[in-house]
Structure 1
Amino acid sequence: MAKFSMAASNLCMAIVALVAVAAAAVVEAATAVEHTFVVSEMKMTHLCNETLVTVVNGQLPGPAIEVTEGDSVSVHVVNKSPHNITIHWHGLKQRLNCWADGVPMVTQCPIRPAHNMTYRLNVTGQEGTLWWHAHVSGLRASLHGAFIIRPRHAYPFPKPHKEIPIVIGEWWSLNLAQLAKNMEDGYYDDSSSATTINGKLGDLYNCSGVVEDGLVLDVEPGKTYMLRLLNAALYSEYYVKIAGHEFTVVGADANYVRPFTTDVLAIGPGETLDALVVASATPGKYYMVAVGGQAPKPDIQIPETRSRATVRYAIGAGNGDEAAPPVVPEMPDQHDFMVSFNFHGNLSSPNRTGSPPVPATADESLFVVLRMGSICRGGRLSCKRSGSKESIIVETMNNVSFQLPAAAAATPLLEELYYDNRGNGTTVGGGLDELYTLPDRPAKPFNYTDRALIPWGPNEAWLEPTEKATVARRFRHGTVVDIVFQNAAMMDTDNHPMHLHGHDMFVLAQGHDNYDAVRDVARYNVVDPPLKNTVLVPRLGWAAVRFVADNPGVWYMHCHYELHVSIGMAAVFVIEDGPTLESALPPPPLDFPKCNQ
């Protein structure tokens, strides 16, 4: 027995040693990735106009960050622009690292002109496509880029021949700083000059007869390509097709999904998708087209947004007539929101080992109505509404429009939370005292999908009055939260891509018309719902999500349409520290930026 015990002991020691060696190998394989982002203004010419544009490293889109799961990332931001800047790492969970989330006056003071800041990020436990962008009103239209996290071991599908980032964006001839001022003043008739794919306008646009450059993707017959798509546009959801080809969707928002095949992708602002494409068509040239969706009349209509790239089979692959024009796909109608509804309804979890379980029940439940309203100019209590210049149009969550607190000029909300929790106070204080609790449900229930409320006029006027406040909701660490987002017909019927910082959300269900708690809870998918950081709430419908509030900090929740967040469709979720040192927010970095210094 003693001899057996000794042998077993030796075997255990050997296994421990092997595990230690393996763990060390993994640690050694992790890399410290560094980037320098120089933010500056430069002149770019499109559509016969020269426009001053704010960019990173002289690029549009900006540089892609490419890492392997488990790496550490440092990004040195050097602000040579005249604007205050922050960078948000869209979809990175930032575990115990809320300081690096990059939301001005929520998590940090902005990086002022002629100042620098280093963001230190970790990418543990995430794989797939995310992105980075400025979290400054309007400027994310030109300050953005891909953030690609590859698996440390292998994909759960055959490795593609090549990976290609596809960034759908917009070209604005209008100065973006002026655009931001227009939006904040309730003026939203501006529209982009063109849609872009990887910064190129494409051959649908021309200037005095000279066609704009378009993206060209060269492919080889039989090879598989992974398209890493992200929607960096300010306004539009996009439908994407490649003539003669199908997509196999394998990921969304840096989470794997159960693969499914489709000929059309639907991607809202802020969303990302990973899709495989096999070059299986007859060799030749094929257009990849992105067309922006919009709500039909009586919603306000903007010019159709569309761009196209070319998928070109390699020369010598028997690609026929070189002079033949590319094949054009038949695109969905831009007003057909069922394309988006059905696409997002197809997303589900692949039930992989290690995937987080879906909590069986929720501790707290919110019913959040997303809609427009208005406030009187100059702080007046009464005024003319329904488009009058006496009032300003705002977006709301449960009839409250978000604004930063008065003390925000001195101290971001995250610092207020951190020092208040430790009983130290801050030099200025007051930020957390001004928080307005996001209500469980709207104070004025109504028929949320009544089409008669869409046009500005007498029918909706009684619902317009709203208020502005620093809207927040506080959660104990580990709270399981259910939110039903109800999209309401109030002066518009856009869908709403709701983005939660620092967390992924299980998308339990979506539906048309008004949510019915008795009927619709029975439809919840608690077996294999998709995990998303940006959830598209359907036009004239609803979406139900569940998440675990287990990442301490102050996290922004907002619509990713730039107009909507700029005029108030936002709130902050204040998540308390957990009971242990490993579940509590650490102190701010020593080089954290200060306001007005």
Structure 2
Amino acid sequence: MGKLSMAASILCMALVAALATVTTISEAAVVEHTFYVHEMNVTHLCNTTKIYVVNGQFPGPTIDVTDGDTVVVHVINRLDYGLTLHWHGVRQIRSVWADGAGFVTECPIPPGGDHTYRFNVTGQVGTLWWHAHVTCLRATINGAFIVRPKNGRYPFPTPAKDVPIIIGEWWQLDLIELDRRMADGNFDDNPLSATINGKLGDLSNCSGIPEESFVLDVEPGKSYLLRVINTALFSEYYFKVAGHTFTVVGADGNYLTPYRTDMVVVAPGRGHRRAPGRRRAAGALPHGRARKPASGTRPPNSRSSCPAGWSGTRACDPTITASPYPSRSCPTSTTRCPSFYFHNNLTGLAHPDRHRVPMHVDERMFITLGLGSICRDGGTRCKRRRSNETIVVATMNNVSFHHPTTTSLLERYYDGTGKGVYTEDFPDHPPRPYNYTNRDYIPPGPLEEALEPTFKATKLRRFKYNTSVEIVFQSTALLQSDSNPMHLHGYDFFVLAQGIGNFDPKRDVKKFNYHNPQLRNTVQVPRTGWAAIRFVTDNPGMWYLHCHFEFHIVMGMATAFIVEDGPTPETSLPPPPPEYKRCSANGLMKP
């Protein structure tokens, strides 16, 4: 009762403090929030669970701004753990100091501490989101971040209403303990259920009280803009409404060529906008964690027989089902490979200012994504093949990223004191080629044993300002067969092409779309497949690149890009703003 009472009092304060303050300044505005981060006990699935929330809300408050506005968020940390907040998909033009990537751009806000994030939102429109960026706390510390056009007009009919649809996961395991287990190479834990806007649906009936479902009341004949965001730690989700179709109009804060479909696939870290018409309901089920394809098992489903409401006389149609894992062969088929088919059919809506694909390439990288192992004793000789002598880690080009724990990479880079903290030799290619998608590398082996040894290191990659960079991400079958939602902070990039199998430059470059590719901040690299992206380094700073599956981040599938200053003050990284707090000796922000 003590925690519940404390949470209630914090919520009362937060409800007053979190009211957005809007000040008009030359057509722009300052949108200001106060976020109280605290624990709260919640009962679901017949058990009371401690969760971590902002202002007593799960999901947290929606930040609603207009292109050109300034955002100010005061964060007050009432947890026993440090945390940062990241504004997922916000470009942060010359404001990397506010990006909120823990130990990359800043040290965590200490228990009992506070911090202010201040940044501009410029040249973006659409559905983004915010979330905690230290440990697994983002499972419940998250919310929608909506950017509206300056003139209020969309390149599609104005909807009757727009609604955030936040898909998440419900864990009874404490999220701090979950993080500890994953750091030790244990990735077999599963959420108990999926959620829609924090609701679990009618999965159980405890003491005669059914679980509450998310209900969206709509009117026949009207269109609704659903801003679907996947905040899950692990799972890609299929979003479907029985008997109805969507028109997908945007993703990751960028417009898409309108695409009609009866199912939308949303990977962790990604957001889609879709405008359905007439009578609509909404439901979501996990596509599944890809690391257990051989057994055919799936995490628990969130099934609601009537997950959303609509007006009219039609009865509720409980035909929402979980899709099975894709088969070993994955053609472009809606039935055998729905995730790849969906993503591969999206194209960007041409925009004169942003849709200009760089036609030359200055730097090329080929990055393999997989798992490996390190010896528990710190040596190099130990028994492999998932033995007790090893820890399973995630890798990029056979390097498992070692996250700092006492300093931030940006602070060291800016001060010129990075020596001994990081090196700038992240490899452009894997150390040796092999058949990356050979499923015989999936345990129990034995072929993977020769390839799995790796190491932990903080290796970064430096680019000069205004460099055209092309990256081909190759998902591998080494110790697993995961898909990989790869997210780059500070940038949108063009998704030129995606494919199944090993990337072949002689064959696959011919598939590149230079006319109207998607402009994204997160690309879903298919399991045992590849994705090619291209972007120009026009935003100086230190930018985190990582898989958005939480277990892959914790296990090391990450790096950071250093982008040097340009030739003018307007193209250079400014000094830290007054609200920026440097790291203390214990790896937390200084008071």
User: Does the CA-based 8 Å contact 1:243-1:330 persist in structure 2?
Assistant: no
The residue that corresponds to 1:291 in the other structure is 286
CA distance in 2 between partners of 1:329 and 1:243 (Å): 7
CA distance in 2 between partners of 1:81 and 1:133 (Å): 15
Cα displacement (A) at 1:289: 3.6
CA offsets per residue over residues 129-154 of structure 1, 9 Å max, x none? 00000001111101100000011111
**One-letter amino acid of the structure 2 residue matched with residue 146 of structure 1:** A
Match of 1:328 among 309, 319, 327: 319
User: Does the CA-based 8 Å contact 1:78-1:117 persist in structure 2?
Assistant: yes
CA distance in 1 between partners of 2:351 and 2:578 (Å): 39
Match of 1:546 among 526, 534, 541: 534
User: Does the CA-based 8 Å contact 1:489-1:540 persist in structure 2?
Assistant: yes
Match of 1:312 among 301, 309, 312: 309
User: Does the CA-based 8 Å contact 1:486-1:515 persist in structure 2?
Assistant: yes
**One-letter amino acid of the structure 1 residue matched with residue 360 of structure 2:** T
Change in CA separation of 1:328 and 1:89 when aligned onto 2, cut-off 3 Å: same
CA offsets per residue over residues 151-205 of structure 1, 9 Å max, x none? 1111111110000100000010000000000000011110001100000111134
Cα displacement (A) at 1:290: 2.5
Change in CA separation of 1:287 and 1:231 when aligned onto 2, cut-off 3 Å: closer
CA distance in 2 between partners of 1:326 and 1:207 (Å): 24
**One-letter amino acid of the structure 1 residue matched with residue 287 of structure 2:** G
Cα displacement (A) at 1:288: 2.6
Gaps of 5+ in 2: 1-22, 328-335, 585-589
The residue that corresponds to 2:241 in the other structure is 242
CA distance in 2 between partners of 1:311 and 1:278 (Å): 15
User: Does the CA-based 8 Å contact 2:287-2:322 persist in structure 1?
Assistant: no
Cα displacement (A) at 1:477: 0.4
User: Does the CA-based 8 Å contact 2:192-2:300 persist in structure 1?
Assistant: no
Change in CA separation of 1:474 and 1:115 when aligned onto 2, cut-off 3 Å: same
Change in CA separation of 1:287 and 1:112 when aligned onto 2, cut-off 3 Å: closer
Q: How high is the TM-score relative to the length of structure 2?
A: 0.90
CA distance in 1 between partners of 2:493 and 2:41 (Å): 40
The residue that corresponds to 2:4 in the other structure is none
Change in CA separation of 1:117 and 1:211 when aligned onto 2, cut-off 3 Å: same
**One-letter amino acid of the structure 2 residue matched with residue 412 of structure 1:** S
Bigger CA drift: 301-310 or 50-59? Answer: 301-310
Bigger CA drift: 455-464 or 166-175? Answer: 455-464
- Within a 5 Å distance, the mapping from 1:372-387 to structure 2 comes to 372-387=371-386
Gaps of 5+ in 1: 1-24
The structure that has the greater radius of gyration is 1
CA distance in 1 between partners of 2:470 and 2:157 (Å): 36
CA distance in 1 between partners of 2:284 and 2:376 (Å): 42
Q: Percent identity?
A: 51
Bigger CA drift: 474-483 or 45-54? Answer: 45-54
User: Does the CA-based 8 Å contact 2:293-2:325 persist in structure 1?
Assistant: no
CA distance in 1 between partners of 2:383 and 2:540 (Å): 43
CA distance in 2 between partners of 1:172 and 1:280 (Å): 32
CA distance in 2 between partners of 1:403 and 1:300 (Å): 32
Change in CA separation of 1:533 and 1:194 when aligned onto 2, cut-off 3 Å: same
**One-letter amino acid of the structure 2 residue matched with residue 292 of structure 1:** H
Matched length: 552
CA distance in 2 between partners of 1:105 and 1:33 (Å): 27
The residue that corresponds to 1:278 in the other structure is 277
CA distance in 1 between partners of 2:448 and 2:403 (Å): 27
The residue that corresponds to 1:527 in the other structure is 515
**One-letter amino acid of the structure 2 residue matched with residue 52 of structure 1:** K
The residue that corresponds to 2:100 in the other structure is 102
The residue that corresponds to 1:5 in the other structure is none
- Within a 5 Å distance, the mapping from 1:180-191 to structure 2 comes to 180-191=179-190
Cα displacement (A) at 1:517: 0.8
Residue 340 of structure 1: SS of its match in structure 2?
helix
The residue that corresponds to 1:303 in the other structure is 299
CA distance in 1 between partners of 2:513 and 2:204 (Å): 44
CA distance in 2 between partners of 1:298 and 1:327 (Å): 29
**One-letter amino acid of the structure 1 residue matched with residue 78 of structure 2:** K
Q: CA RMSD in A?
A: 1.9
CA offsets per residue over residues 233-285 of structure 1, 9 Å max, x none? 0000001100121100000100000001000000100000000011247xxxx
**One-letter amino acid of the structure 2 residue matched with residue 128 of structure 1:** G
CA distance in 2 between partners of 1:387 and 1:98 (Å): 39
Asked if residue 415 in structure 1 is aligned to residue 411 in structure 2, the reply is yes
User: Does the CA-based 8 Å contact 1:298-1:455 persist in structure 2?
Assistant: no
- Within a 5 Å distance, the mapping from 1:11-410 to structure 2 comes to 28-153=26-151, 154-207=153-206, 210-280=209-279, 288-295=283-290, 297-298=293-294, 301-308=297-304, 310-314=307-311, 317=312, 319=313, 324-329=315-320, 332-335=323-326, 338-405=337-404, 409=406
CA distance in 2 between partners of 1:169 and 1:307 (Å): 13
User: Does the CA-based 8 Å contact 2:200-2:302 persist in structure 1?
Assistant: no
Q: How high is the TM-score relative to the length of structure 1?
A: 0.89
The residue that corresponds to 1:570 in the other structure is 558
